[in-house]
Structure 1
Amino acid sequence: MTNPLRGQITINLGGTDYQCRLTVDSIIKIEEELDNGILKITQRISDADIRMKEMSVILLYALRGGGNNFQVKDVNKIIQSTGLINCSAAVANLLVATLNDDSEESDGKKEAVTA
């Protein structure tokens, strides 16, 4: 079960629901691996400028933060089965949903992200 108070959201990739959470540790790992700040990465993704490695890294750490025990090859299979367009949209929505301040949300609940 998703706990929005802990920053957890559900993301649907290829018809399967996954729990995701961008913890502080996972954000640090994403920033280190991609050599960019999370806000800059989010901005580029919202401008439809995302690389496959970025998509894979973000999903890997978000899925692990949600309690999933995935390796890079597992995430890459999910990306392939979901499709690049749907997956990139889901990653963009995931980042926006998890990085937004709760005061910016109308009802205080984080919504599920679907691809």
Structure 2
Amino acid sequence: MVNPYRGEVTLGVDGAPRVMRLTLGALAELEAKLECDSLLEMIARFENGAFRVRDLIGLLTAGLNGGGWRVDEAELIEHRIDGGPLAAAQAAARLLKLTFTLPGDEPDGGQ
């Protein structure tokens, strides 16, 4: 079971729920992968809708690794994301939101 107060989000992969979490290590790997000069630049890329599918795959991979499922991007694209690209993008957006929102500050109460 995921804990939104820890920044955890579920992503369905091949019918199995997988926990995603952006740890500091996962964020550092993602920042380097996306060749961003800062954490703020990386966040802005997603907030402004300037991300590519490759960026989304990188974010999902970082989140899955931070959640304990060690997978690389090449492995992840071989799997089926339950709900397709829209569900993947929604899970990624929620992951970023929970990672950078203080507990209790979410209007939906973490749902």
TM-score bucket (shorter structure)? 0.7 to 0.9
User: 2:9 is matched with which residue?
Assistant: 9
Contact 1:20 1:62 in 2 (8 A): yes
Q: Which AA in structure 1 matches 2:2?
A: T
Q: Distance in 2 between matches of 1:80 and 1:105?
A: 26
User: 1:40 is matched with which residue?
Assistant: 41
Q: Distance in 1 between matches of 2:8 and 2:82?
A: 23
Relative to structure 1, the CA distance from residue 101 to residue 54 in structure 2 (aligned partners, 3 Å threshold; closer, same or farther) is same
Alignment of 1:22-101 (within 5 A): 22-36=22-36, 37-78=38-79, 82-101=83-102
Contact 1:11 1:90 in 2 (8 A): yes
Q: Which AA in structure 2 matches 1:27?
A: L
Query: Which deviates more, 66-75 or 42-51?
Result: 42-51
Q: Which AA in structure 1 matches 2:51?
A: I
| TM-score between both structures, scaled by the size of structure 1 | 0.73
Aligned-residue Cα RMSD (Å) equals 2.7
Query: Which deviates more, 8-17 or 87-96?
Result: 8-17
| TM-score between both structures, scaled by the size of structure 2 | 0.75
Q: Which AA in structure 2 matches 1:4?
A: P
- TM superposition shift of 1:110: 3.4
Unaligned runs of 5+ in 1: none
Contact 2:4 2:98 in 1 (8 A): no
| Bigger proportion of residues as helix | 1
Relative to structure 1, the CA distance from residue 51 to residue 110 in structure 2 (aligned partners, 3 Å threshold; closer, same or farther) is same
